[in-house]
Copies of this chain bind each other. A is one copy, B any other.
Amino acid sequence: MATITALETRDVRFPTSRHLDGSDAMNPDPDYSAAYVVLRTDETSDDGEPDGLAGYALAFTIGRGNDVQTVAVEALAHLVVGLDLDEVCADLGAFSRRLTDDSQLRWLGPEKGVMHMAIGAVVNAAWDLAARRAGLPLWRYLSDLTPAQLVACVDWRYLSDALTPAEALALLEEAAPGRAARRAELDRHGYPAYTTTPGWLGYSDEKLARLCREAVADGFGILKLKVGLSLDDDVRRLGVARAAVGPDVRIAVDANQRWDVDDAVRWLTALEPFDLAWIEEPTSPDDILAHARIRASVAVPVSTGEHTQNRTMFKQFLQAGAVDLLQIDAARVGGVNENLAILLLARKFGVPVFPHAGGVGLCEMVQHLAMADFVAISGSMEDRAVEYVDHLHEHFVDPVRVERGRYRPPTAPGMGARMWPASVEEHAFPDGAAWRPEPAAARLVARVPA
């Protein structure tokens, strides 16, 4: 009998603020960071790993507080260590509920913030483990589950006024016959990506124009720009971007929660001439009613989701007609299970999902959810795309492959968050080489967009 023998964590941080990559209206100087999680087992690994089979995942933060996030992961060890590996892999729904139902830890959320992201990381590590054990990339592993197995993954509490297990089962069964054809389509064409690489607020107009042109040349059909610090600057930058890419490339904008309702309406009315694909996070991620009001007042499609804390909030955004599209994030909610619930809700309401990614490891993880959604849930890639940002991928053992503006389906087993041991050591905070004083450390910083 194999068991989970340890829950290991590391505080890993990349000094991205030194180059203003990732700067937006709310987050001027992020240091992309990971509370990195390894679930160890005493089972031998098929691919001859000397340390045996393990599951890998991370909670994503942007610097300070990554220590708090790491301690929160450690607080889950008592619920995980010693579990039978067969039982965990056979019922990942029960595993997930075991973590969210610890009544004392639940007080720290419930199901939100640091503690919920910690649960998400451990749940994702268990899915990574199960997929590795099966020798499959997670998207394949997920899309091999039966409709009933997928329904059993979801914690249905608080959802029944919008979606019942029986309705979800019917939706999944409706999608089942097309799974094989859609897998083949994914293998041939990949999944659409969109890029935020050109649009950070810290970049000059010249760099913005150059990166926009490069993105289009690289095959991206959607670009996203950060907005929200200055309306005049945003009008100018959108002019630069639109001139650089022409009328046929879609441009989305992201305000990163900067506005109240009236600000958002004023700003978006001024930006309407640029034919925006969507406005992302116009206001507080908690403010369902404000999103609904903004959506009713402007022509720009409204979206949110990367900070949306759990399925109950996603449900309400859909029920209130507050969004035209949604972002999901692999590392914000309670892991794969809760994202399955959110994808099922989006399917029920007919709202397309454009997963949030970037940061560190988010592209690697979330692509699996988008592809499993295409194969087994929504059945559609139309008017959908996964965010892509071109940095920090070299730290992952199985980095994303984006070609001609499309994600290639991963073929390596697992969920993609496993990092190279040398990258973990170099970026361990505060003692890793990357955190030694400049300028020596600058040489060790990850490759960044020039």
State the A residues within 8 Å of B (CB).
26-31, 61-65, 67-69, 71-72, 75, 78, 102-117, 157-161, 257, 260-262, 283-290, 293, 307, 309-310, 312-313, 315-316, 319-320
The answer on a CB contact under 8 Å between A105 and B286 is no
New A-B pairs, 19, CB < 8 Å, besides A29-B104, A71-B71: A29-B103, A61-B108, A64-B75, A64-B102, A64-B104, A65-B107, A67-B75, A68-B68, A68-B108, A108-B114, A158-B284, A158-B287, A161-B260, A161-B261, A161-B290, A284-B312, A286-B309, A287-B316, A288-B289
Cα distance A100–B30 in the bound complex, in angstroms: 16
CB of A71 within 8 A of CB of B67, answer yes
**B26 to A106, Cβ gap below 8 A?**
yes
Nearest residue in B to A30 (C-beta to C-beta)?
A: B104
In the complex, A62→B104 CA distance in Å? 5
Decide if A27 touches B107 in the complex (CB within 8 Å): yes
A104 and B31 contact, CB distance less than 8 A = yes
Question: Which residues from chain B contact A112 at a C-beta distance below 8 Å?
Answer: 112-113, 286, 309
List the number of copies, as a whole number. Answer: 2
Residue from the set A113, A293, A307 with the largest chain B CB neighbour count within 10 Å = A113
Give A332 Cβ to nearest chain B Cβ, in Å: 10
List the 6 closest pairs (A to B, CB-CB), nearest first: A113-B113, A63-B104, A114-B114, A64-B104, A161-B261, A160-B260
A412 CB to closest chain B CB (Å) equals 29
Residues of B within 8 A of A65 (CB): 72, 75, 104-105, 107-108, 115
Nearest chain B residue, comparing its CB with the CB of A23: B103
CB distance from A106 to the nearest CB of B (A): 7
CB of B260 within 8 A of CB of A159, answer yes
Most buried by B among A29, A61, A114, A257: A114
A106-B26, A286-B309 are known contacts. Are A160 and B262 too (CB-CB below 8 A)?
Answer: yes
CA distance A287 to B157 in the complex (A): 11
Task: Say how far A428's CB is from chain B's closest CB, in angstroms.
Answer: 18
Question: A113's contact among B26, B114, B315, by CB below 8 Å, is which?
Answer: B114
Once the chains are docked, how many angstroms separate the CA of A161 from the CA of B116? Answer: 29
